[in-house]
Amino acid sequence: MRSAFITGLAGATLLDAERSFLGSTRPAGIILFARNCVSHDQIRRLVSDSLDAIGSADTLVLIDQEGGRVQRLRPPLGRALPAAAAFGTLYARDPSEAGRLAFLVSRQNAEDLRALGINTNCAPVLDVPVPGAHDVIGNRAYGATPAQVAALGAEVAAGLMAGGVLPVMKHIPGHGRAGADSHHDLPVVDTPRATLETTDFAPFRELAHLPAAMTAHVLFTDIDRDYPASTSPIVTHDIIRGTIGFDGLLMSDDVSMRALGGPLGERARAVLAAGSDVVLHCNGDMAEMEAVAAECPAISGCCEKRLDAALAVLQQHEPFEPQLAEAALSRALSVTA
């Protein structure tokens, strides 16, 4: 049995305490950050050691490799990747070509990640930014309209899945109009629900068939005045599972972010009570990891089915044309977003 959380690790090698922790708790996955990545061989070894400790190859190995300012693997460890907004610029000129390039760059990204043992990318970002919002999303967005964001996000997700990498769309049901960075503060959005349904929620509704999503630490006062989306049963059931229609694996954003209050164990418990399948904890602090794990039961029932469906994506591998992908990457990098 696997536990309903994904955990970060402290550094570039698996500590003895981490090995014991992974073996006893058996999380659904691990997530890597720049602190965990020194060389290709080291990354492969860290992943392999972690999977050995957990005792299962059926483990999600996550990373944030969006491109632009959010990519944990940078040269020389990874290719320089364009920000999402570069594809948005191309879309304004030629939507079909922009989609083709987004797919190919994403397909190359998948190939590179799988070569390191990484099988899950926390992308695409489907948030729709609005004027005056905090720039935490900014050029991470594929455009300023729901249709464009959904169209390009779909190509990115398809490119990842074609290479056997699980895409995690974020930040459901939308972080684009938040006036604060949820890493540091709780964003409060007072926009009426009717408006949100036609704007912020729309790309997620369009791509509700995708296998995994990450929630937003954003308070939508017209829906739930008391709890942010990630810990709100109302948002999870009425909006994410209801209006949007998403029935895939649902994970929280990092519960160690300052948007949430209270002890880490309480945060984890609230995420699961709200209806998410898995808790995400990223910072690699062992005391916090233990507090989160203590509140996360074994995955079962519908949650297990959703995890199995997500893991099935990892078995895909469609034909890959490196030269086309390289040309697409070069073209996208030449665009000023």
State pLDDT tens for residues 230-282: 999 999 999 999 999 999 999 999 999 999 999 999 999 999 999 999 999 99
pLDDT at 182: 86
CA distance 245 to 145: 20
CA distance 235 to 229: 5
Tens digits of residue pLDDT in 203-219: 999 999 999 999 999 99
**Span 278-289, mean pLDDT?**
98
The answer, yes or no, to whether the previous bond of 171 is cis (omega within 30 of 0) is: yes
CA distance 174 to 232: 14
Q: For residue 129, give Cα distances in angstroms to 122, 176, 236, 252, 321.
A: 18, 4, 21, 20, 33
Asked, for residue 117, whether it belongs to a domain, the answer is yes
Q: Any catalytic annotation for residue 185?
A: no
CA distance 128 to 190: 16
Asked, for residue 38, whether it belongs to a domain, the answer is no
- Where residue 315 falls among pLDDT bands split at 50, 70, 90? very high
For residue 336, pLDDT beyond 80: no
Query: What is the sign, positive or negative, of the torsion defined by CA atoms of 143, 164, 174, 138?
Result: negative
Q: 168: how many CB neighbours lie within 10 A of its CB?
A: 28
Asked, for residue 39, whether it belongs to a domain, the answer is no
Asked, for residue 122, whether it belongs to a domain, the answer is yes
**Span 175-197, mean pLDDT?**
93
pLDDT at 184: 87
Q: Which of 94, 183, 190, 308 is catalytic?
A: 183
Tens digits of residue pLDDT in 142-169: 999 999 999 999 999 999 999 999 999 9
pLDDT at 146: 98
Considering the chain, what percentage of its residues have pLDDT values greater than 70?
99
Q: What is the DSSP letter of 275?
A: T
Q: For residue 8, give Cα distances in angstroms to 46, 91, 216, 237.
A: 12, 35, 19, 28
Asked, for residue 322, whether it belongs to a domain, the answer is yes
Per the prediction, the chain carries an average pLDDT of 96
Q: Residues 229-233: contacts with CB within 8 Å, 24+ apart?
A: 229/172, 229/173, 230/255, 230/260, 230/271, 230/274, 230/276, 231/260, 231/267, 231/270, 231/271, 231/273, 231/274, 232/274, 233/273, 233/274, 233/275
Tens digits of residue pLDDT in 89-100: 999 999 999 999
Q: Which of 64, 253, 254, 277 is catalytic?
A: 253
**Span 18-39, mean pLDDT?**
98
Q: Give SS3 for 230.
A: helix
Asked, for residue 8, whether it belongs to a domain, the answer is yes
pLDDT at 337: 58
How far separated are the first and last CA of the chain, in Å rounded? 45
Candidate from 67-71, 125-129, 176-180 with smallest mean pLDDT? 176-180
**Span 29-53, mean pLDDT?**
98
Assign residue 296 a region (left: φ > 0; alpha: ψ between -120 and 50; beta: otherwise): beta
Q: Any catalytic annotation for residue 183?
A: yes
Asked, for residue 36, whether it belongs to a domain, the answer is no
Cα-atom radius of gyration of the chain, to the nearest Å? 19
Task: Please state the domain count of the chain.
Answer: 1
Q: What angle do CA 38, 43, 46 make, to 5 degrees?
A: 115
- Where residue 107 falls among pLDDT bands split at 50, 70, 90? very high
Asked, for residue 321, whether it belongs to a domain, the answer is yes
Burial of 199-223, coded b for 16+ CB within 10 Å and e otherwise, reads bbbbbbbbbbebbbbbbbbbbbeeb
pLDDT at 149: 98
**Span 12-24, mean pLDDT?**
98
**Span 118-122, mean pLDDT?**
98
- Please report, for the domain that includes residue 91, its CATH number: 3.20.20.300
Host domain of residue 124: 3-31+46-52+62-333
